[in-house]
Structure 1
Amino acid sequence: MSVAPDALAIRVAEVQAKLAVLRECLGKTGAAAIRLRGIDWFAWVTAGGSSAVLHCAETGVAEVLVTQDEAVILTDEIELARLREEEIPAGFSFHASPWAQVELRERYVLGLAGDAIVLSDRPHNGEQPLPNALRLRRLVLGEAEQMRYRALGREAAEAMSEVLRTARPDWTEYQLAGAGAHALWRRGIHPALVLAAGERRLPLYHHPVPTHEPIGKRAMLVFCARRHGLYANLTRFVSFGAAPEEQAALMEVEATGLSAVEPGKSLSAVYHAFDAAYKHVDRAEALNEHHQGGITGYLAREIVATPSTATGLETGMAFAFNPSFAGIKIEDTFLLGPQGLDNLTYDPQWPASSVHGRQRPLWLEVT
C-alpha cells in the first residue's frame, strides 16, 4: 500500500508496540514462538498489512512468526516481492520458500522453535492456542488503528449513500450489490460482504444473498467493508414511496441496547438490554430470529453478544449491533471513546432522526 512518510513512521511504531505485546506473552507463557496465520491477526501485527488474495478465506498467502529475537513474514516466492514492497512496514524479516515445497517453511519454524511450545491463532500439529488475554488485547484499538477505522467508516458510509441515491426500482439485487461493491473498491475498500434484498425477499431472509430479482418498491443494502484489516459494518434502506412505520420502534430497541455499552459492563449486559427492549415493544420473539451483533474490529464480528458473554467492555473497543424485525434492521459501527459511543459510519448527508440524543439513519424515501 502507498502511504505518506509520517503515516509509515506511525505504522512502524505501532508494529514495534505490538511485537512487544507478543514477546511479553512469550515471556509469560514460556513459549518459544507465536505463529499468526489468519488474515485478521496478520493485519493486526503488521499495522494494517494484508495477506489476503482470496478474500473469502480466513488465512492468507503469508504468516507471521514471532520469537524473542525475530519477527518473520513466512510466505512463498510468488508473494515475496509484492508483500515486501506494498504491504509490510519495517520491523520484519522475510522467509520465502518455493511454492511446491511447503515443508521447507515447517522446517524453518522448527529451526527457530525447536521442540518448545508454539502458540497460534489457528493451531496445527501440536501448537497451542493463543492465551485469552492476548485475544482480548486485540479488541482494544490503539490511536493509529482508530484513525484508520474512522477513515474507513466515513468512506464506507459515503459509498453506501452514493449507491442508494442512484438505485432504481427496476434494478436487480445483483445490480444493487454490484454497484455497492464497485463503490467500495473505488475507495480501496474490500467488499468482504455485500447483501441486497428487494421488496419481495426483504421480509423473508435476514441474510439475503443477492439474486436476479428486481428490487421493486424498497431495498436493503448491507456492507461488511474491510480495509487495513478492519471492518466497517452498516445497513441502509431505500424506499420508493413511504418508509414503514416500524422503524421508529426498532430505533427505540437499538437505543436501549446502545445505552448499555459502557466501560466496565459486560457484553451480556448489552444482550439483556436488547432482550428487555424487544419485550417493551411487544416483539420479544425478534431477539431469537437474528443475532444482535457485538464487538467488531479485525473480524466482522469478533464476539457476538449472548446471554452469557462475560467479555468486559473497554474504551477503545468497536461495536456493530444489528437489532431487527422481519424486513427491517438498523446497523452502524461505533467506537467506544471517553465520551461514549462515536458512530464511525455516520454520513451527515444521509437522512437521520435524533433518538435519545443520537443521530440514527432513516430510510431514504425516493418519491
Structure 2
Amino acid sequence: MNELTTKLALVRDNMNEHGLSAVRLRGVDWFAWMTCGGSNVVILTTEAGVAEVLVTTDGAWVLTDNIEAARLEQEELPPGLQVWAHPWQDSAQREAFVAARRGSGAVASDRPSAGEVPLPERLTRARWSLLPEELERYRALGRDAAEAMTEVLLAAKPEWTGFELAGAGAEALWARGIHPTLTLVGDERRLPVHRHATASKERLGGRAMLVFCGRRHGLFANLTRFVYFRPPSAEERRLAADVARVEAAAFEVCRPGVTLGQVYSTLVQAYATAGHPGGEAFHHQGGSCGYLSRDVVARPGSTVALELYNAMAWNPSLPGSKIEDTVVVSPDGLEILTVDPRWPTVQVAGRARPDLLVR
C-alpha cells in the first residue's frame, strides 16, 4: 500500500472500532498528515487552514471553496483524493455535502464542533509513528533547516540587530520552501535573562542564539545554535557542556514505550547531577514532535509513551545556554535529523553534538 492508502485504512479501522460514520480533519497538522505532506495554509499562523479532509466508509474528499480548489488539486494533494468545492460566499453548502454522506453514526474531528466528537486516541497515537515516506520527507527537511541555520550564522555580524538575524533566518528557510513558524534570537545582553528570547531591535554584540521551528510538508524541524564573535568564556563553555550532558541523559532513555514523564524525571536528575538542581523549572524541556513543533510537552508524571519512529526535540537550557535538535526513535537508537556537516561538533556520550560556532 502507498502512504495515502495506508492512512485511509488506518482512519477507517478506527472509524469501525468506534462506530464513526465520518472523520473531518481540519487542522493544519492533520490535513498535512492525511494528504501526505499537503498544505491547507494561507495565513501562516492559522491552526485550521482553507481546506479540510472528509473521510467516510466509502469515500475521501478535500473540501474547500472555489478560490482554493484548483491550486490545491494541482499543487498540494496526492492522487486518490477528490476535491469538492463550494462558492466562497456559501459555506453552508459544505455542511450539506457532509450531511448527505456522513451516515447515521457519529462524526469525529481533530477540532470538533456542532456535536462532533474528538478523534480516537489510537488514531492520534498512530500519527506519532512516522511512515517510511514521512521519514524521508523529515530527513530532507532536517538537512535543509540545518543548512539554513549554518548559512545564516556564518553570515551574521555582531552589529546586526535581532530583527535582522531573524529576518535572515526566515529568508534562508523560505528559500528552501520551509515556513519559518518560529525564529527566536537571543543577543549577548538578553541571552542570560530570557530563555525565550524573541527577536528585538538590540544589536547582537559578542554572541547570539538562533532558534528555528521550520515547517515543510506539515513536519517541524526544531533546532538551536549559537554563534560567537569573540572567544567564549570558561563559564560559557561550562554551561554549554552542562546542557549537552543533560540532553545526553534524556537521549539515553528514549526508546519506544518510555513515557514522557520518565524522560522528564531523567532530565530533572541530570540537571542536579550537572550541578544545577531545579534547572528544569525555568523553561519547558521539549517533548515529542512531528506535525506540530511539540505534539506533547514532557511534564512530571506524563503517561504518554514514545512510539517507534516518534520524532522528538528536547531543549534543556541554562542561563545563556541551550541545546536542541530534532531526532527520531528508530530500532537502532536515535537518528538526529537536523544535521549540517559544516557545523562544528563536540562528542557527548558518543554522539556528535553541536558546538559553539566561534568566528
Fold shared by both chains (TM-score > 0.5): yes
Letter aligned with residue 92 of structure 2: E
* Partner residue in 1 for 2:294: 301
Q: 1:127 aligns with which of 113, 116, 121?
A: 116
Give 4+ residue runs of structure 1 displaced > 2 Å after superposition.
none
How far, CA to CA, are the matches of 1:250 and 1:41 in structure 2?
A: 33
What residue in structure 2 maps to residue 268 of structure 1?
261
* Residue 310 in structure 1 maps to residue 303 in structure 2: yes
What is the rounded CA distance, in whole Å, between the counterparts of 2:264 and 2:33 in structure 1? 27
Q: Which residue of 1 aligns with 2:136?
A: 147
Which digits, 9 at most, give the CA deviation of each residue in 1:151-194, with x for residues without a partner? 00001000000000110100000110000000011111111111
What CA distance in whole angstroms lies between the structure 1 residues aligned with 2:21 and 2:255? 37
Worse-superposed segment, 157-166 or 284-293: 284-293
The structure 2 residue matched to 1:213, chosen from 199, 202, 216, is: 202
In 1, Cα distance between equivalents of 2:55 and 2:245 = 47
The residue that corresponds to 2:334 in the other structure is 341
Q: 1:354 maps to which residue?
A: 347
Tell me the residue number matched to 2:2: 13
Deviations 1:53-87 (A, max 9, x none): 11111110000000011101010000001000000
Match of 1:249? 242
Q: How far, CA to CA, are the matches of 1:267 and 1:214 in structure 2? A: 38
TM superposition shift of 1:16: 0.9
Match of 2:169 in 1: 180
Structure 2 gap segments, 5+ residues each: none
Whichever residue aligns with residue 199 of structure 1, its letter is: E
Q: Distance in 2 between matches of 1:61 and 1:105?
A: 13
Name the residue aligned to 1:9.
none
* Alpha-carbon distance in 1 for matches of 2:253, 2:2: 34
Correspondence for 1:279: 272
Give 2:224's aligned residue: 235
What is the rounded CA distance, in whole Å, between the counterparts of 1:108 and 1:326 in structure 2? 55
Q: Secondary structure at the match of 1:156?
A: helix
**CA shift at 1:150, angstroms?**
0.3
CA deviation after TM superposition for structure 1 residue 115, in Å: 4.4
Find the partner of 1:288 among 281, 287, 297. 281
SS of the equivalent of 1:162 reads: helix
Q: Which one of the candidate residues 25, 40, 43 is aligned to 1:54? A: 43
The 3-state SS of whatever aligns with 2:158 is: coil
The letter for the 2-side match of 1:281 is A
SS in 2 for 1:177: helix
1:35 corresponding residue in structure 2: 24
User: For 1:261-286, what per-residue CA distance to the aligned partner results, in whole angstroms no more than 9, with x for missing partners?
Assistant: 02222121110100000111221221
What is the CA deviation profile of residues 220-273 of structure 1, one whole-angstrom value per residue up to 9, with x for unaligned ones? 100001110000000000111122121111111111111110222212111010
Measure the CA separation in 1 of the matches of 2:64 and 2:243.
47
Q: Is the 8 A contact 2:40 2:51 kept in 1?
A: yes
Q: What is the TM-score with the length of structure 1 in the denominator?
A: 0.95
Secondary structure in structure 1 of the residue aligned to 2:197: coil
Listed as ranges, the matches of 1:164-179 within 5 Å are: 164-179=153-168
Which amino acid in structure 1 is aligned with residue 69 of structure 2? L
CA distance in 2, matches of 1:116, 1:110: 11
What amino acid is aligned across from residue 39 of structure 1 in structure 2? Answer: V
Is it true that 1:157 corresponds to 2:150 in the alignment? no
Which stretch of structure 1 is more off in the superposition, 130-139 or 109-118? 109-118
Q: Percent of pairs identical after alignment?
A: 50
- Distance across 2 between alignment mates of 1:111 and 1:180: 47
> Which of residues 193, 199, 218 is equivalent to 1:204?
193
Aligned length: 355
Q: Is the 8 A contact 2:268 2:279 kept in 1?
A: no
Aligned AA (1:258): F
Q: Is the 8 A contact 2:264 2:299 kept in 1?
A: yes
**Alpha-carbon distance between aligned partners in 1 of 2:208 and 2:148, rounded to the nearest angstrom:** 16
* SS in structure 1 of the partner of residue 304 of structure 2: coil
SS in 1 for 2:280: helix
1:118 aligns with 2:107: yes
Hey, what's the Cα distance between the residues in 2 that align with 1:346 and 1:195? Answer: 19
Structure 1 unaligned regions, length at least 5: 1-11
For residue 329 of structure 1, what is the amino acid of its counterpart?
A: K
Q: Which residue of 2 aligns with 1:8?
A: none
- The residue that corresponds to 2:317 in the other structure is 324
Question: How far apart are the structure 2 equivalents of 1:249 and 1:191?
Answer: 29
